[in-house]
Structure 1
Amino acid sequence: MRAARAAFAEAGGGITLEEIAQRAGVGLATLYRHFPSKDRLVREVVEELMREEIEPAITRALAEQDPLRGMSVMLETVLTLASGQPGILATARDAGALTADVAPRFIQPLTQLMRNAQAAGQVRADLEPDDLKRMLVMLLSTLRPAEGPDEGWRRSLVLLLDALRPDGATPLPPATPPARC
């Protein structure tokens, strides 16, 4: 798993299972016994990232007294991972590993924090969960993976979080029906 994670982060989805087996120091047959397909291996890498990186960040975020800070913790974690390991996000997306059971594990707690921030008057009342998904995609699109780790997203995140504040907010047009995860 570690070899696959490093390979996908570095080389993206173009890396072969043969190369991953070689990096891991195992035979190709051993790799196939554990992961019958490349897509399955990518899904397992995503699950490992969820367990090791995302879920602890969700726990920290939900423990925050300040729900807007909690939202920031969650978004910072995902953006830090995506900027530091650019190939993993693209590989996961291409392999269909960002499935309907993975995305809600991040979006639901982020939505809970959004609702808590709305109740505390920290976030505009007309913000919808679908808006969060769109904002996450926008933030991820600011990354420049070809140039290596990029911290420019931090500026975009601060601007976005400031835009969520209710002070002086322009009313939003009606929300479109929510997108399916």
Structure 2
Amino acid sequence: MYGVGVQTGPERPRRADAARNAERLLDAAREVFAEQGPDAPLDAIARHAGVGVRTLYRHFPHKEALVRAALERGIGEQLGPVITDALTDEDPRRGLVTLMDATLTLVARERSTLAASASMAAEVSAPVLEAIDVLTERAQRAGSVRADLTSTDMQRIMAMLTNVLWTMDEQGAGWRRYLVLMLDAFDPEGASPLPTTSTSKCQSTDNCASFPARK
């Protein structure tokens, strides 16, 4: 027992230092990607975090691991509470609008990190898309969203809206103009019948994932 006690004491500050280094690296990754784009080298991220490249590789053995952790942190911190609030909103259309707006706000802020790995961005965005599906179905049952919208439609609509961001000022929120236009198209009243599609599901993340925005 005494031996274990002696060993765990000095381990705690080392673990705390490691945790702080990991947090600094994640913050630095998002900032450097924003400044230099998705091709920013890892040594630039390490310098920005104030640690050595070896420290970066101890935490994140390759760029994909760093990008995944940065994306998961951003989505968890910025969208996690929004998803919870949206899903408990008594007005499902309002919850849907809130989540779509918050998602696009995050994409606008993190576009370079997202672009660093488009396929991974689609994977980590799955909880957001699932919540959008749930809210769309609830709003359809409430009669506030047209009944012929499908899950695939919503994924592709999010893809179109995120890709609009690449054509707009990074510092502005002009993309909200197109969100409002799209939301008007959700209204059941006066909606024109939609043509059928050749497939009912997205066949790949490249076709209809929402987060990966491309230049």
Q: 1:178 aligns with which of 201, 206, 210?
A: 201
- 1:38-80 Cα offsets, whole Å, 9 max, x none, are 1110011111012101211111211222111111111111111
- 1:22-42 Cα offsets, whole Å, 9 max, x none, are 000001100000000011100
Q: CA deviation at 1:99?
A: 4.6
Q: 2:48 aligns with which of 19, 23, 29?
A: 23
- Give the letter for the 2:61 counterpart: P
Q: Does 1:38 align with 2:60?
A: no
Q: 2:96 aligns with which of 55, 63, 71?
A: 71
- Give the letter for the 1:7 counterpart: V
Q: 1:160 aligns with which of 176, 182, 199?
A: 182
Q: Does 1:133 align with 2:159?
A: no
Which secondary structure does the structure 2 equivalent of 1:98 belong to?
helix
Q: Which runs of 4+ in 1 moved over 6 A?
A: none
- Give the letter for the 1:31 counterpart: L
Percent identity over paired residues: 42
Query: What is the RMSD computed on CA atoms of the aligned residues?
Result: 1.6
Normalised by the length of structure 1, the TM-score is 0.91
Normalised by the length of structure 2, the TM-score is 0.78
- Which residue is 1:150 aligned to? 172
Which secondary structure does the structure 1 equivalent of 2:173 belong to?
coil
- Give the letter for the 2:99 counterpart: M
- Contiguous gaps of at least 5 residues in structure 1: none
- Which residue is 1:54 aligned to? 79
- Contiguous gaps of at least 5 residues in structure 2: 1-25, 206-215
- 1:64-113 Cα offsets, whole Å, 9 max, x none, are 221111111111111112223331221231xx32254x232111111000
Contact conserved, 2:168 with 2:175, CA < 8 A, in 1?
Answer: no
Structure-1 separation of matches of 2:128 and 2:107: 14
Q: CA deviation at 1:177?
A: 2.3
Q: CA deviation at 1:145?
A: 6.3
Structure-2 separation of matches of 1:145 and 1:174: 29
Q: In terms of Rg, which structure is larger?
A: 2
**Residues 1:46 and 1:85: Cα distance change in structure 2 (over 3 Å):** closer
- Which residue is 2:116 aligned to? 91
Contact conserved, 2:143 with 2:188, CA < 8 A, in 1?
Answer: yes
